[in-house]
Amino acid sequence: MKKTRCAIYTRKSSEEGLDQEFNSLDAQREACAAYITSQKHEGWVMLPEHYDDGGISGGTLERPALQQLLQHIEDGLVDQIIVYKIDRLTRSLADFSKIVDTLDAAGTSFVSVTQSFNTATSMGRLTLNMLLSFAQFEREVTAERIRDKIAASKRKGLWMGGNVPLGYDPNGRTLTINEVEAKIIRTLFDLYDEHGTIRQVKEAAEKLQLRTRQRETTVGRKSGGGLFDRGHIHHILTNPIYAGKIRHRKEIHEGQHEAIITPARWDQIQQQLKDGATKGRVRNAAKQTSLLCGKLFDETGDRLTPSHTKTSKGMRLRYYISHRLIKRSGEVNLDGWRLPAPELEAKVAQVIRTTLMTPSYLNQLIPDASISETGQWRDELARLCDGQHPKHLLNLVHDIKVETGKLRVTLDPSGVSNMLVVKTNRIVHKALTITSPFQIRKRGVETKLVLGDETTELDETLIQNLAKAHHWFEQVKSGQTLSEVAKANDTTSRRIQQIIELALLAPDIIKMVLDGKQPLGFTSEWCKRHHLPSNWQDQRAIIASL
């Protein structure tokens, strides 16, 4: 029979009566001990350690005995906590929720002797979930109360803390001007008024050696004191606090502090920034040409036409869409392709680059090439392809046919001959058609395109975590506790628990990860949020569905 190690926890709020020979803590312990004895047939064993907090309120978790008990739970020394009543453990539902998280992580349950509350049973878990719902409600109400208080204070123009903006010093619930730093702020506004772009403001600020404020944390760690970057300058120019106002979310209220920049001047700069951003968006939109326009066709011969949509924030998203979806947009159940343009262009360029760099392909393309010629072409291709924008490689495309499961890319013979500096008649035209496996994967709202034989790239993080899991698992098998393993590896017990399950993966799944052939959805982040069963068949079924 498996032993269940039971720890008794007792608490008394006041110190009154603790000096008596038999006090309230003793009475609680006696009742709990009797209950453990009654469960002896279930394998319950009472631990000799005393976890007693006398004269300490249940409204706080900062109790010596409780902290020692929680540490022993994390160390794997306790299977079950026995208390006289739930309120002996804590009087705060929010704290109760934190304790339960610790117990769940360690696989420990607790029992209330007088309230028939045992989290090892289904009814106990139901009661626990009800209490946790109230704890969540308490947290949300508290958060709403804090948010409302902050909003009300900001409506009155009060400074509610945080990083003090450059140019000001804190003064209670308001700010006072720091004249030395205020000169820097005024200079930045003047520079933008003069130059009209943040890039030029940054360059001018560097010449003037303008620097950010140096900050020092309570532990003596220093930050700041460097030159301004463009993000920092933009934040300063758009911060209404310098116009004597306080921002709360999308609302701006009159502040109780003095302005460094007059409100009229600040409004003028905002208009200049807005006009500059609009011009930039127009220029960028013009640059975003569809590089495969007129070259993409689907399996029916229908052309894939460039199209775009705009997000709520005005961001332009480009796609290639089967022409029939546009022409017959009112029809239902109409099938066709809708592919994200930037990703498709990048993936096609990657396929072309990889193919052209393969010696065996070059031998098929130009069979009479000498070894020295092939070497020269590869060196030249490596130089041309290194860091190249996809446009340079996509110019080689004559046409692309999109089919279910594969992509046929046909290269233009004159483009290839110009790149390799060879005559067109030396090129085997049949070899100009490259066929690549092609898949569309959905991960949340994201559309992922996978081209080539791979199903994903090597996930270095997942591979590293796999190695750690096996290392830690061996340490646990040797008799070390999770806390000892965590301390030896400079991490936390929680981190060990999140990762160690990877050591129980089926051998073929491990090989799949090491080869980089696991499904796109199987990542370290997924493993942190999901429990993997120990049964290998169940593991395979779950991972195959990702």
- Cα separation, 198 vs 229, in Å, equals 9
309 bridge partner residues: 317
Instruction: Of 129, 56, 65, give the one whose Cα is nearest residue 97.
Output: 129
**Three-state DSSP class for residue 166:** coil
- Cα separation, 171 vs 435, in Å, equals 69
pLDDT tens string, the chain, 546 residues long: the values are 789 999 999 998 877 777 777 788 989 999 999 999 998 988 999 999 999 998 887 777 889 999 999 999 999 999 999 999 887 888 776 677 788 888 888 889 888 888 766 777 777 777 766 766 665 676 677 768 877 888 888 889 998 887 889 999 999 889 999 999 999 999 999 999 888 889 899 999 999 999 999 887 666 777 788 899 888 899 999 999 999 999 887 889 999 999 999 999 999 999 888 877 655 544 454 445 788 988 999 888 999 988 888 777 777 888 898 888 877 766 666 678 888 888 888 888 888 888 888 878 888 899 888 776 777 777 777 666 655 556 778 888 999 998 877 889 999 998 888 888 788 888 999 999 999 887 765 444 445 565 555 444 567 788 888 888 888 888 888 888 888 888 888 888 888 888 888 888 888 888 888 877 777 678 888 887 788 887 888 888 888 776
- Cα separation, 348 vs 340, in Å, equals 12
Q: Say what the pTM is.
A: 0.38
Instruction: Of 471, 369, 386, give the one whose Cα is nearest residue 423.
Output: 369
The residues near 155 (Cβ < 8 Å, ≥ 6 apart) are 248, 253
CB count in 10 Å sphere of residue 450: 17
253 bridge partner residues: 246
Could you give all domains of the chain from N- to C-terminal order, each with its CATH number? Answer: 4-139 (3.40.50.1390), 168-285 (3.90.1750.20), 296-451 (no CATH), 460-544 (no CATH)
- Cα separation, 259 vs 266, in Å, equals 10
**Three-state DSSP class for residue 372:** helix
**Three-state DSSP class for residue 115:** coil
- Cα separation, 530 vs 502, in Å, equals 11
Helices (H) and strands (E) in the chain, counts: 21, 20
Q: Tokens at residue 297, please? A: 């066709």
